[in-house]
Amino acid sequence: MSQKLLLTFNAGSSSVKIGIFAREPEGARRIGKGLIDFRAEPLTFHLIEGPQVFDVPLVAKTDDLLHDVLEEVFDWLSEHYDLDAVSAVGHRVVHGGDLFADAVNIDETSLAGIESLVTLAPLHQPQNLRLIRAIAALKPGLSQSASFDTAFHRTQSDTVRRFAIPREWFDKGVKRYGFHGLSYAYVAGALKTLEPETAGGRAVVAHLGSGASLCALEHGSSRDTSMGFSTIDGVPMATRCGAIDPGVLFHLIDAHGLSVTQVEEMIYKQSGLLGLSGLSADSRVLLETPSKEACEALDVFTFRIAGEVARLAASLGGLDTMVFTAGIGENQPAIRRSVIERLRFLGLLLDADANDRNEAVISREESRVKIRVIATDEEQVIADDCVKLLC
């Protein structure tokens, strides 16, 4: 009898991460992972299966439906796995609004709910919907589930979620939602395993990748976060500006004649590390570049992150644990060092050698705050949600 499998799809605006999991009595165990990179020329499927790595150029062209791309990817996966044994597919869906407080099975009702939230996440939600519909067309009857990035933050109070604008807009959905929830859910679970009695106590988690945000956790529950209504808010990112005075946007439109579309393009795709440096959106490139502009871009990045840690510590009424996660947070000691050096006043003391070795704990023994590095796994959270919904 063949082993039952699960697939997970974690869609970004320009790529899709695919997880291949074995469904076992104790849960889902990853056995492979892939990536469809829509920026690559030609379109490429990247698959990692244990120690083996495969890069496959795809013949299919990207269109609004993605049917041809997924059909080719599934054909290729079938050479390595028994796709007839796939019992379900789980998706990361960026926005759940106030409709979804937990993962759900996808049916006509939930799909309509996801589609109704497109205006809240216009860059990501359509990609999520395209994948769900493409799989439904290719594998009719296959169970699909949705895990929402915003759902983890539903434990935040209305005081945290409100903007200081007329109250009726809150009831119309204009509020702070927060994102990267699947990553924070994984880290919260890891902290519960590492520190079962406190789950890290009052913890600030810095999810630092191409997209970046921070979250304040109290015993594993979200209490505040840096991203608000959209994925632009909070700290600077690879190409996104982070928090910005709305007056700047009015000025660009009124005084300089930029259209709303041009401003949107600027703050999503031309700002952040790329805009500050004028060189690259990749912090690794900037760390290796001695120019004034590269150094200044990194200084702004780490300055804003440290400031957000302090703000979130105030939301929690103190700080017991600081966690770095995601690509930059897990792998770039220089970025972590620059952030922590700005937070000595909160009692964070860095073990420089442990930090340089990317160890799991990088704080000194006398540090009032434990500093951890935890590798996140959003696909594992999606797979675990999928298993729960199947049971």
Would you name the residues annotated as active-site residues?
149
DSSP assignment, residue 3? Answer: P
Contacts of 360 (CB under 8 A, 6+ apart): 372, 373, 374
Give dist(CA 91, CA 94) in Å, integer. Answer: 10
DSSP per residue, 124-186: THHHHHHHHHHHHHHSTT-EEEEEETTGGGGGS-HHHH--SS-THHHHTT-S-----HHHHHH
Give dist(CA 353, CA 359) in Å, integer. Answer: 9
Q: In what order do the strands lie in the sheet with 27-37?
A: 52-57, 44-49, 27-37, 15-24, 5-11, 86-93, 143-148, 104-105
User: Measured between alpha carbons, how far is residue 227 from residues 120, 171, 253, 304 in Å?
Assistant: 13, 19, 24, 13
